[in-house]
Chain A
Amino acid sequence: MGLFILRRVGVMILTALCLTFLVFFLTNLYPNLEKLAKTEGNFRMSDAEVASWLEKGGYLQPLPVKYGEWLGVLPSYTHTAENGDVSGRCILPGMTAEDAPRYCGILQGHWGWSTVFKDEVGAIIGTRLGLTGKLMFWVMMLMVPSALLIGVLAGMREGSVTDRSLSTASIITTATPEYVSGVLFIAVFASSAVGLKWFKGTATSAMENANFENFFLPVLTIALYGMGYIARMTRASMAEVMTAQYIRTARLKGVSFPNIVMKHALRNALIAPFTVIMLQFPWLLNGVVIVETLFNYKGFGWTLVQAAGNNDIELLLGVSVVSVIVVLVTQLISDIGYVYLNPRISVT
């Protein structure tokens, strides 16, 4: 087991390195850098001025070197001006060149400076991730129990009316992307045109104090899309377990139906959905981006859109590092959990 985890972690780190390099490459293409120079310097720079601005910032070094510096495994670039002033990535304002550390990449905790929010990338990501964490927590609290309940109820008696109606309902929720269901919910529950006005159409106030009125719609919107898929998986696995021999034996012994479901079937039926729930995280990340934009909830997904839309290279890199790590860690947990829950699978 230890070796298995070790190997998976190794692959995970390799994947993370490849992906961040890819993002680094795409964000550091010359047109992006030129745009950065023009927004940070001024818009009427000539090509030569752009080149010298980029040269000064160390943006014109070879890509692997830049990546190594950003990661913190290569000494950071410094630029010596003609009058002897030394500037560089590591040298923050009010610091002399001698005091500055030689290495400053994400491994040293130096995430860079966001040009949109005018703040440290690390600090921005920290607060935004906290806000999104709050959203995700409530999404999970709503989505997982209801999806499992729907799946178990539907799979308990395959082909019954309950099964048919619940399955159709879960197909409908999987067919409704967040930007459709969100728009529908706002239209019905929040707009003055219908007039119900039960909830608020924006979740901006939920960042400070979340309550049912301003937070329920975004949570429901994300939860609904994932719910159908998990419910269908649970239904399939429940239906399979219910046809197993040991369930028949239990029935013949005279165990009551609720007891069979609760004590015999449920534990085996929940192995497959566990993996699915963990693998839902990448999709939830998508949902978070859409819903946070739609409801104007300034969390992690909203930050991603702002960073990508405004060519904020360092923030975008930070955001992608975090999201890639979240995805990979959940994949790892789902693999390990699957092995742990299902004694029939062995890692060797």
Chain B
Amino acid sequence: MEALSWGGIIAQLFLQFTPVWIALIATFAVSIVFKRNLGLYGKLFDSVIGMVGFAIVMFWVYTALFTGLFDMIATHDALSQVSGMKNKVPGTALRRPEDGQFAWYLLGGDNLARDVFSRVVKGSVVVIQIAPLATLFAFMVGITLGLPAGYYGGRLDTVLSFAANLILAFPVILLFYLLVTPEIVATGLPQYMAVVLFVFPLVFFAVLIHSRFRTQPGKNKLYLAVVLVPLALLYLSLINEAGSKIAFWPLDFFDVPGGILVVFVSVVFVNSPTVFRIVRGLAMDIKTRDYVAAAQTRGEGPWYIMLWEILPNARGPLIVDFCLRIGYTTILLGTLGFFGLGLPPESPDWGSTINEGRKLLSIYLHPALPPAFALLSLVLGLNLLADGLREESLRD
């Protein structure tokens, strides 16, 4: 086999991403045709910046989906080493490709002779799995605490704000080092934090449903059961892990792979105070509006007002911040990987691969640059998407 030229590499890369291109074109075609019926999401397709951002974000989402679920885009395994491919430049052909094995390392090999391209693509799975979900959890925590703090004010607000400022005044990297080291993980502290932090979605949904249907007991019980039972099972299996401090047998259906839970917890912990402050500010602003006064006069309970009157009206800034925050979480995950904290060292996530690649940076560029560009593009996409959303939501 011949080594590929740069043109050949680009063509092959383009071909490898074929399913992503198809999915992207389909998404855009459908969205643009129906954009008048799709609310804020449809309006996104009126702004060029928003569309560019959305395209970049969806590119990585689809890449992660096709790689993680169908094992399509990656050309090799993220961990398998092929002899003779150590630090080889992009486009090098394998020495003796077996049948059905892809014949080139499209973006070269790293210092352990693994395929850089496949690692970047597999790394997107790790990032796309953790970042949005961790952000969502941070939002649940921030909303559940921020709404009462802003709505009631007073002593509750003072205490919660003080706690939030406490976490915000902490240098993030120091916190990561304190939470993620193996000794602390062995004490079970991150797990206890998980117990506290992951209960917030349960509380959130329980209060959300109960405050709405409290006068219709039949519906109330049904909806509560439908939502809470699966969530509670998920919660219990999430915090449960055999061989750790919290391990009770019957309710452990899946295990979170090594280190990911700890990383997840620390990222949620760092993000939630900022969300809390934003939600609190919005709640303080919105509670003076007339429709809140109307609901109070109607005799609605405080939680109904918070969750069904204030929260829907705060959605614009929250959605924008959600996009920005996913980007920030991605950066945090990269930071963790960069310092080799939490995730296992062979993990293909972008931060870890950048950290590995930087050690030989003065001689070989190709192992470090693709993950760097991948991370940069995803965060940039999210920022542009947030900008587009902000522009469109301010328009009306």
Contact = CB atoms under 8 A, between A and B. Distances in A.
Contacts of A289: 171, 173
Nearest to B186: A31
Considering residues B172, B178, B189, which has the most beta carbons from chain A within 10 angstroms of its beta carbon? Answer: B178
Contact of B383 (A15, A29, A175, A180): A175
A328 to B, nearest CB: 6
Given A175-B327, A304-B173, A32 B357 contact: no
B169 A183 contact: no
B249 interface: no
A29 B184 contact: yes
Interface string B337-362: 01100000000000100110110011
Interface in A311-339: 311, 316, 319-320, 323-324, 327-328, 331
B334 A177 contact: yes
A30 B173 CA distance: 22
A35 B376 contact: no
B166 A18 contact: yes
Interface in A179-205: 179-180, 183-184, 186-187, 190-194, 201
A286 B270 CA distance: 13
B363 A183 contact: no
A179 B183 contact: no
Given A32-B184, A324-B169, A186 B335 contact: no
A222 B329 CA distance: 19
A32 B364 CA distance: 38
Interface in A151-195: 171-172, 174-177, 179-180, 183-184, 186-187, 190-194
A230 to B, nearest CB: 15
B168 to A, nearest CB: 8
B362 A282 contact: no
Contacts of B184: 26, 29, 31-32
A240 to B, nearest CB: 13
Which range contains the number of B residues in contact with the other chain? 35 or more
B312 to A, nearest CB: 26
Given A191-B365, A201-B362, A177 B187 contact: no
A290 interface: yes
Contact of B362 (A192, A285, A316): A192
B178 A26 contact: yes
A278 interface: no
Given A193-B364, A327-B169, A183 B357 contact: yes
Contacts of B169: 15, 19, 282, 324, 327-328, 331
Contacts of A327: 169-171
Nearest to A191: B362
Contacts of A186: 358, 361-362
B369 interface: yes
B90 to A, nearest CB: 12
Nearest to A29: B187
A258 B115 CA distance: 56
A294 interface: yes
A201 B363 CA distance: 12
A180 B173 contact: no
Contact of B174 (A18, A190, A194, A304): A304
A190 B170 CA distance: 34
Contacts of A290: 173, 335, 338
Contacts of A172: 380
Contacts of B327: 175
Interface in B215-234: none
A194 B365 contact: yes
B383 to A, nearest CB: 5
B331 interface: yes
A193 B174 CA distance: 35
A187 B383 contact: no
Contact of A27 (B178, B338, B362): B178
Contacts of A331: 169
Contacts of B368: 183, 187
A157 B166 CA distance: 40
Contacts of A54: none
Contacts of A18: 166
A35 B363 CA distance: 38
A179 B357 CA distance: 11
B372 A180 contact: yes
A62 interface: no
B375 interface: yes
Interface in A281-325: 282, 285-286, 289-290, 293-294, 301, 304-305, 308-309, 311, 316, 319-320, 323-324
Contacts of B365: 187, 191, 193-194
A319 B369 contact: no
A23 interface: yes
B51 interface: no
B384 interface: yes
Nearest to A202: B362
Given A183-B354, A323-B171, A177 B379 contact: yes
Contacts of A301: 173
B170 A19 contact: yes
Interface string A205-244: 0000000000000000000000000000000000000000
Nearest to A301: B173
B173 A187 contact: no
Contacts of A293: 339
A193 B363 contact: yes
B178 A23 contact: yes
Given A172-B380, A175-B379, A184-B369, 11 more contacts: A15-B162, A18-B166, A31-B187, A171-B383, A183-B354, A187-B368, A190-B362, A289-B173, A304-B171, A320-B174, A327-B171
14 contacts: A23-B174, A26-B179, A31-B184, A32-B183, A176-B380, A180-B375, A183-B369, A186-B361, A187-B365, A193-B363, A282-B168, A285-B171, A304-B174, A324-B169
- Kindly list the 8 A-B residue pairs having the minimum CB-CB distance in the complex, ordered from nearest: A308-B177, A31-B183, A175-B380, A175-B379, A26-B178, A177-B331, A191-B362, A180-B372
